[in-house]
Structure 1
Amino acid sequence: MTEQNNYSLDITADVCPMTFVRAKLLIEKMSPGQLAEIRLKGMEPLINVPRSLAELGHEIVSIQAEDGAATDGPHRLVVRKK
């Protein structure tokens, strides 16, 4: 977690739909404008978690692969709560 991120969550060991459920629960306890860094892995979470959070109105700040990660490898998603 970087200094600018208020929360951090690692869901690399989880599978859908739990990846979204855990991310949503984290976002719900945050205040508007706060940032969360969510570490996820696998194509399904990489597509579904950011899309679902954006559909709820939250801002997807960035999605970046970790150093040397494959397309479906670990990524870091940064989300700003609406």
Structure 2
Amino acid sequence: MPELQARLEGAARATKEVLTSLPPSQLDEERKFRDRKVTVRWGILHVIEHTATHLGHIQLTRQLWASQGKRFSP
């Protein structure tokens, strides 16, 4: 688990670095995403939403395990 924690912290640092260096004027610039054009702002929000969905899955799985008397021990 320490390795996973370190990787998550590294990803968080890299994300913060990218987002803090992004000028607000670039948020409405368009980029190609799959077969359509989207704004940088949309891309950021999409990643946040996608990550939140995965975190929700993790929380639900943990709650299900706990309701069955199981414990996760890293």
* Same fold per superposition (TM over 0.5): no
Report the structure, 1 or 2, having the larger strand content. Answer: 1
Instruction: Give the alignment's TM-score, normalised by structure 2.
Output: 0.29
Instruction: Give the alignment's TM-score, normalised by structure 1.
Output: 0.27
Report the structure, 1 or 2, having the larger helix content. Answer: 2
